[in-house]
């Protein structure tokens, strides 16, 4: 079980791990041992995630979100399979944690009268400088 916060926990049956050979340095070991981890979480069908969290997760996941509603996290940072599994689970938990935060609503504001006045004064001054460049 992967615990996200006090309300959300991901069951083990919702996660699928697949191991492949990692690219990069590692000597002969890289050609024989499957250390890279592909963690797949069926987010769309998960009963533990509320709908607003699923929508935000889809937006945050970006390319990692598949058409069938799964989040795929691929990790090949280290040469050790158990450490890569840990990193993948941590990244998934962090992604879901970010999705649980409700974004603050933006309140549109007007520019102050002083800032409008200063802007118009600067524009006028700039126009006068450019007007002086013309031939008399």
> What is the dihedral sign for C-alpha 60, 72, 90, 87?
negative
Give the per-residue pLDDT at 16.
Answer: 85
Q: Name the token pair of 77.
A: 């940072």
- Which of 76-80, 115-119, 127-131 is the least confident region? 76-80
- The DSSP letter of residue 65 is B
d(CA 104, CA 52): 14
Give the per-residue pLDDT at 33.
Answer: 80
Domains along the sequence of the chain with CATH? 2-100 (3.30.160.20)
pTM to 2 decimal places = 0.71
CB 37 within 8 A of CB 19: yes
| SS3 assignment, position 74 | strand
d(CA 110, CA 93): 39
Give the per-residue pLDDT at 2.
Answer: 76
Average pLDDT over residues 80-107: 89
- Which of 19-23, 48-52, 80-84, 107-111 is the least confident region? 19-23
d(CA 86, CA 73): 12
Give the per-residue pLDDT at 126.
Answer: 96
Q: Name the token pair of 115.
A: 């800032």
> What is the dihedral sign for C-alpha 22, 25, 31, 35?
negative
Share of the chain above pLDDT 70, in %: 95
Give the per-residue pLDDT at 35.
Answer: 83
């Amino acid at each position: 079980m992967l615990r996200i916060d006090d309300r959300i926990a991901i069951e083990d049956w919702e996660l699928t791990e697949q191991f492949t050979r990692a690219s990069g340095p590692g000597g002969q070991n890289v050609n024989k041992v499957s250390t890279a981890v592909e963690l797949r979480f069926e987010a769309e069908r998960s009963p533990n995630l509320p709908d607003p969290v699923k929508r935000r997760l889809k937006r945050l996941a970006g390319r990692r979100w598949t058409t069938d509603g799964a989040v795929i996290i691929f990790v090949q940072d280290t040469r050790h399979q158990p450490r890569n599994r840990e990193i993948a689970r941590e990244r998934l938990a962090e992604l879901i944690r970010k999705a649980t935060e409700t974004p603050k609503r933006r309140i549109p504001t007007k520019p102050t009268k002083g800032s409008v006045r200063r802007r118009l004064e600067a524009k006028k001054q700039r126009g006068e400088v450019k007007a002086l460049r013309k031939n008399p």
